[in-house]
Amino acid sequence: MFWDHDDDKPREECGIVGVFGHPEAALLTALGLHALQHRGQEACGITTFDGEKFHNERHMGLVGENFGGNLTERLPGTSAIGHNRYSTQGKPALRNIQPIFADLASSGFAVAHNGNITNARALRRDLIEKGAIFQSTMDTEVVLQLVARSPKPLMRDRFQDALTYIEGGYALVGLTNKKLIGARDPIGLRPLVLGKIGDGWVLASETCALDIIGAEFIREIENGEVIIISEQGVESFYPFPKRPESPCLFEYVYFARPDSIVQGRSVYEVRRRMGHQLALENPADVDVIVPVPDSGVPAAIGFSEQSGIPFQLGIIRSHYVGRTFIEPTQTGRQKSISKKHSPNRAVLEGKRVLLVDDSIVRGNTSKKIVQMVRDAGAREVHMRSASPPITHPDFYGIDMAAQSELLAATNTLEQMREFLKVETLGFLSVPGLYSAIGIERDVNLPQFSDHCFTGCYPTRLVDHQREESAKDRQLSLLD
């Protein structure tokens, strides 16, 4: 992997958009992907259908860098799907950019997905043994291969048949010559919403993508639901046994844009209440509350409101510096980190400063920010995390450090405090996070997937378990 392992943040998932029945489908898809750029900055792609043939563009880089100009001429059609990518399965490469497309016996079929199929490698091995030829290393291509090999006569049934083989967390959009298809995994780990614009329909990862194109939010796609949009309207199917919904808590903690609505809740308001709760659980005797920008801002505002301690922008973030994880060398990454955050000395000098961030993963960037604040003249530096300690990795589409590299998995609170070199350190509790969302955690009925904080994974981890078994066998041979 070439991600910046100094970055404290879990790497984003992916963003998906689908449009059906609109003359500017490609343009709307590009605008929707732009709104979802925070979910993946490595690459982007759009596939359209113009009534006769499919058109496809895939590029490394950001949406605005690649999908401007005469877009509707390059990608004509009234239906489209698009994708923002970062790597979970499959390294950065042009062949691994979605949507992925193939000509099937009945029609062309394009598919894009957000999340991670936890048995993708097992399925891939089985498909290759049966003669399948893969063109990429993405888990998304497994879906395409399963659809292609399904014996069902109708594309709708072939798609649903393919879903019965896959496990994990996913939201999918698919495009045929007649239909736009969407699906969420059986417990709804990954998000997907439905919107309407004029006579057309939109599927997207978040409501902010609907807002940017002026689409009306209709509803969230339900967990385990397959939605088929055609000229006949919208149909829903449920190919799985009904299970309680258990979406990923990280949508509230970090991934979703603050102006999005998730499960009827404002993400911004939830994060602000996380700050309220954090102040109640971990008060601090300081002069000023300073967010680690930008993701720590809502929680820092909430902490300030609850505690009465002034909120100040003590760290200024440049929005014109490339993301650190795409720098090609370690030296380049370190320089980018220093260019990304600048201390506001007028706020920090001589003050007892409380830094509020949304989460701490490895801790390396947090440590550098603490030192930067001290160098700017802060008398004391304290730190609070608006999420619980991250003790377990994710396997559902969040690229995160291995468990041995997670700061909270390998250190006590005091050891973490010493590593970060802060006067005090505190984390929001798991019950406190649920309280900020507005519910009480029920250990017997998981309302959310909180595996990164508790280790309680909601599905089988087939590929991971096989890898661990293989490592154990190798170690036993060495003994």
* Domains, the chain, ordered by start: 15-247 (3.60.20.10), 266-454 (3.40.50.2020)
Could you tell me if 9 and 295 are in contact, meaning their C-beta atoms sit under 8 angstroms apart? yes
The token pair that represents 191 in the structure block: 């998000």
Annotated binding-site residue? 259: no
pLDDT tens-digit readout, 286-321:
999 999 998 899 999 999 999 999 999 999 988 765
* Ramachandran bin of 418, using left for φ above 0, alpha for ψ from -120 to 50, beta for the remaining angles: alpha
- Predicted pLDDT at 11: 52
- Kindly report the number of other CB atoms within 10 A of residue 348's CB atom: 24
Is 211 annotated as a binding-site member? no
- The residues that are catalytic are 14
Q: What is the residue-level pLDDT of the chain in tens, covering all 479 positions?
A: 233 434 556 555 699 999 999 999 999 999 999 999 999 889 999 999 999 999 999 999 999 999 988 999 999 999 999 999 875 555 567 888 999 999 988 789 999 999 888 899 999 999 999 999 998 888 899 999 999 999 998 999 999 999 999 998 999 999 999 999 999 999 999 999 999 999 999 999 999 999 999 999 999 999 999 999 999 999 999 999 999 999 999 899 988 999 999 999 999 999 999 999 999 999 999 999 999 998 899 999 999 999 999 999 999 988 765 544 334 344 444 455 556 889 999 999 999 999 999 999 999 999 999 999 999 999 999 999 999 999 998 877 676 667 888 999 999 999 999 999 999 999 999 999 999 999 988 877 778 999 999 988 887 777 666 665 555 455 444 45
Mean pLDDT across the chain, nearest whole number? 89
Phi-psi region of 271 (alpha: psi -120 to 50; beta: other; left: phi over 0): alpha
Q: How far from the centroid of its chain's Cα atoms is residue 146's Cα?
A: 25
What predicted TM-score, i.e. pTM, was given to this entire model? 0.89
The C-alpha angle with vertex 89 and arms to 84 and 94, in degrees rounded to 5, equals 55
Q: Is 375 annotated as a binding residue?
A: no
